[in-house]
Structure 1
Amino acid sequence: MGRMRMSSEDVVLVEESKNSGDPTVVAVNCPDKAGLGCDLLRVVLEFGLYVTRGDFSTDGKWCYIVLWVVARPISLKIDWQSFKNRLVSCCPSCLPAFYLDQLSGSSKSPPLYLLKVFSFDRKGLIHDVTKLLCELELTIQRLKVMTTPDGKVLDLFFLTDSMNILHSKIGREETCEHLNVVLGECCISCELELAGPEYECQQGSSSIPEAIAEKLFSPAMDDRPQALNYASEATVIVDNLLSPAHSLLQIRCRDQKGLIYDILRISKDCDIQIAYGRVTSSVNGYRSLDLFIQNEEGKKIVNSEKQVGLCLRLKEEMLHPLRVMISNRGPDTELLVANPVELSGKGRPRVVYDVTFALKTLDICIFSAEIVRHSTLDREWEVYRFLLVENGGFAVSSKGGKQDVVDEVRRRLMGW
């Protein structure tokens, strides 16, 4: 019963590093719940943090997780108190009454806000707005960017608010003031309000041509020799001999941004319970994970078909957690980026940030952009569509130019 008297301050402990570049130690000690590791690693990814190593353990009722994290890039400023608060919000409460309240309220969808930014166009505009929204911990759920014939841009950002600052008029006004500072003289107007029912029900229907969708969501989309080399070195093995009660899942693959989140996301969606896990440090660009797992019934995974299915799913999404391709949309060039959506309906964090950063680096302007959902036979995808603008310095439509865009966007998304 001593555990039940823990305060929320003891649920998450953050020991900040004393030297730049050294890892900060994050310890989570709380009641267990299905998918807790995935939820915590999602927050880590949202804050731009990289896990150097980690340990997970649970007895099915109580869990203890330790993560060693560093900011990527090192210059990134982290609000550690805010990070801690976000982690605490993922954890079941240590007090039974609060725990029940949290469970009863967990199904409520957070309110959706609509940010309207009308401005003169300039390079890097969308990224600058996205960067500020990330710093304010405002999550972009949907996006619509439109360029007018006279060179102005209307940006519609549909946001959820992790810090609960937009519920007040003052919070919304301060957010718009921050945006006015970032955009400077190019900003014409900025409005932020609670999205009405007509916006809440709009999920952004997919209108992707069938031929493009078939290529974008194909398991073997990237068939370049370099990608095939990485695939041959990614291994996923299920061992049922080492433990009498658990299956040992051994994973080794190339290190990349969000790798641990992706593995835990798949485990959560497949109802895999992780009793103990260890994430080792990256060695020569590769990571190893040892996870002692059980199925949803608390038993070893002995069915060979289920073993093969789990290994294939993990391997596919470790190799291709995000799909990136360039296509022709009439006379224009379109960049498409897709990632699987959690069964809970949540998309991957910071995708808009990374893609727009890559395009800004390449000095490429965005004519229009939107986020849509697309369903295939076995899962739902979040698809980011960017119509790119040709300019004198970068020939986007050329074969070499297209590949350069794909490579830079993928490099930014994967953290290579």
Structure 2
Amino acid sequence: MGILHEDVVIIKQTEKEDEATVITINCPDKTGLGCDLCRIILFFGLSIVRGDVSTDGKWCYIVFWVVGKASIRWGLLKKRLLEACPSCSSANTLIYYPAESQPPKPPDVFLLKFCCRDRQALLHDVTQVLSELELIIQRVKVSTTPDGMVMDLFFITDTRELLHTNKRKEDTYGHLKAVVGDDMVSCDIEMVGPEITACSQGPPFLIPPAISEDTFSLEMPDGCKHGSLQSDSVSVTMDNSLSPVHTLIQIVCRDHKGLLYDIMRTLKDYNIQISYGRFMTKGTKDCEIDLFIVQADGKKIVDPSKQNAMCSRIRMELFRPLKVALVSRGPDTELLVANPVELCGKGRPLVFYDITLALKMLSTDIFTAEISRHMIGGREWEVYRVLLDEGDGSSVPRRKIKEAVWRLLMGWER
């Protein structure tokens, strides 16, 4: 059975502002495909308001209804979704299933060294440029000197895989220059050596004394653990009586940015296959999700201990998909944000962008910033550490900073 390449991903844009754009995906299936697709949609700044998934284990049919800003590059989104679909990166007019997929080649890592005079919201503006250019920040080290100069070190990968070319580098320089202007002192991009690449993508770092399980609240209130449905809690139940071959997971929770991605990445880490699923928002807050699933061996989840473990994990991931904390460093304040890393090594997109945007909206300056990987609570986390510049006596209460960052990360800024 063949399918035209251009029909693998179809995007039907809406002509009305209050209607959703429909994305239809018809391709060979693989465990974790839904997670990969949701991550891409989240990276493009879109929210999924409804979804339907159906698969026979070999071929899948997925429909997402999405909303977002008007400036979405739909052609580029379609290209990225095509690349995530098994067998869909082929240049052939027709693609067929089955086809052996080759393990992806690790992306080249580049070091962007950027020096300029400091100003308010500079880090967010640079982060926004990198995001628009599809340059993924893997690690960052930002510091401010006493004389008002900023040295930014970004370890980045290029979604377009063109950063080794002079044209792509010059395009990046031009976009950064347009934002920074005459404040730019120097800017350089170079591919890092294997030893630096291994350091930036290899085993997670040891936890420094400043970061531990106690830094973030990794546990949920007892009420949420037992599934009581309060305004900000999560209900997750399993049922094996409605299908002879599938386990049904039913989820009711408050909507947030990347909700479907958080569910899909959790199931992907458990190697769970979704045979049929339905996702729908109700009003502006609540969501209902029904998922008919099987284990890797194609069987139901009948072990009560496995059921309880999965329900508890999903509740935790949806109740607090990211961890936010403010800690005192002597007279200074450090903002810490952590998000769990998928077992494949990928983290949630646009977290650093949202952090810097929230601080920009609060007119709160950044003195230093760093992204790194840590083992916390037996899991790998991507940790964003931002030392706030309060030298002139910030008038923004610390509690308000934490709340503003949290709400923007969850998509509740309005």
Give the TM-score normalised by structure 1.
Answer: 0.91
Q: Which residue of 2 aligns with 1:60?
A: 57
* Segment of structure 1 superposing worse, 187-196 or 207-216: 207-216
Shift of 1:293: 0.5
Equivalent pair of 1:215/1:221 in contact (CA under 8 Å): no
Shift of 1:261: 0.2
Could you give the per-residue CA deviations for residues 33-80 of structure 1, whole angstroms, max 9, x where no partner exists? 110000000001000000110100000000000001111xx35x1110
Could you give the per-residue CA deviations for residues 249-300 of structure 1, whole angstroms, max 9, x where no partner exists? 0000010000000000000001111000000123351101000011111111
Q: Which residue of 2 aligns with 1:310?
A: 310
Could you give the per-residue CA deviations for residues 148-205 of structure 1, whole angstroms, max 9, x where no partner exists? 1211001111111112231311111111111000111211111112122242122373
Shift of 1:209: 2.4
Equivalent pair of 2:140/2:154 in contact (CA under 8 Å): yes
Task: Report the AA paired with residue 46 of structure 2.
Answer: L
Q: Which residue of 1 aligns with 2:92?
A: none
Cα distance change on mapping 1:38 and 1:179 into 2, 3 Å: same
Shift of 1:98: 9.8
Aligned residues: 400
Equivalent pair of 1:280/1:289 in contact (CA under 8 Å): yes
SS of the residue corresponding to residue 202 of structure 1 reads helix
Could you give the per-residue CA deviations for residues 339-388 of structure 1, whole angstroms, max 9, x where no partner exists? 10000001110000000000001111111110111113431111000000
Q: Which residue of 1 aligns with 2:74?
A: 80
Matches of residues 143-292 of structure 1 in structure 2 within 5 Å? 143-203=140-200, 205-209=205-209, 212-220=212-220, 230=230, 233-292=233-292
Q: Which residue of 2 aligns with 1:8?
A: 5
Task: Report the AA paired with residue 407 of structure 1.
Answer: E
Shift of 1:232: 6.8
Question: C-alpha distance in 1, partners of 2:97/2:64?
Answer: 28
Q: Which residue of 1 aligns with 2:411?
A: 415
Give 2:16's match in structure 1, choosing from 14, 19, 24: 19
Equivalent pair of 2:207/2:376 in contact (CA under 8 Å): no
Task: Report the AA paired with residue 278 of structure 2.
Answer: R
Shift of 1:315: 0.2
Question: C-alpha distance in 2, partners of 1:370/1:347?
Answer: 15
Q: Which residue of 1 aligns with 2:91?
A: none
Which runs of 5 or more structure 1 residues have no equivalent in the other structure? none
Question: C-alpha distance in 1, partners of 2:229/2:402?
Answer: 18
Question: C-alpha distance in 1, partners of 2:222/2:374?
Answer: 20
Identity over aligned pairs, percent: 49
Matches of residues 364-403 of structure 1 in structure 2 within 5 Å? 364-390=364-390, 392=392, 394-395=394-395, 401-403=397-399
Equivalent pair of 2:278/2:291 in contact (CA under 8 Å): yes
Give 2:102's match in structure 1, choosing from 97, 101, 104: 104
Task: Report the AA paired with residue 102 of structure 2.
Answer: S
Task: Report the AA paired with residue 410 of structure 2.
Answer: M
Equivalent pair of 2:120/2:365 in contact (CA under 8 Å): yes
Equivalent pair of 2:51/2:278 in contact (CA under 8 Å): yes
Shift of 1:9: 1.2
Could you give the per-residue CA deviations for residues 86-132 of structure 1, whole angstroms, max 9, x where no partner exists? 000000115359943xx2242x2111111111010111001001111
Q: Which has the higher helix share?
A: 1
Shift of 1:215: 3.0
Question: C-alpha distance in 2, partners of 1:272/1:311?
Answer: 13
Question: C-alpha distance in 1, partners of 2:135/2:222?
Answer: 32
Equivalent pair of 1:363/1:394 in contact (CA under 8 Å): no
Q: Which residue of 2 aligns with 1:115?
A: 112
Shift of 1:8: 2.1
Equivalent pair of 2:213/2:377 in contact (CA under 8 Å): no
Give 1:70's match in structure 2, choosing from 67, 71, 87: 67
Task: Report the AA paired with residue 399 of structure 2.
Answer: Q
Which runs of 5 or more structure 2 residues have no equivalent in the other structure? 89-94
Cα distance change on mapping 1:114 and 1:217 into 2, 3 Å: farther
Matches of residues 352-371 of structure 1 in structure 2 within 5 Å? 352-371=352-371
Task: Report the AA paired with residue 189 of structure 1.
Answer: S
Question: C-alpha distance in 2, partners of 1:272/1:91?
Answer: 18
Q: Which residue of 2 aligns with 1:32?
A: 29
SS of the residue corresponding to residue 235 of structure 1 reads strand
Shift of 1:304: 0.4
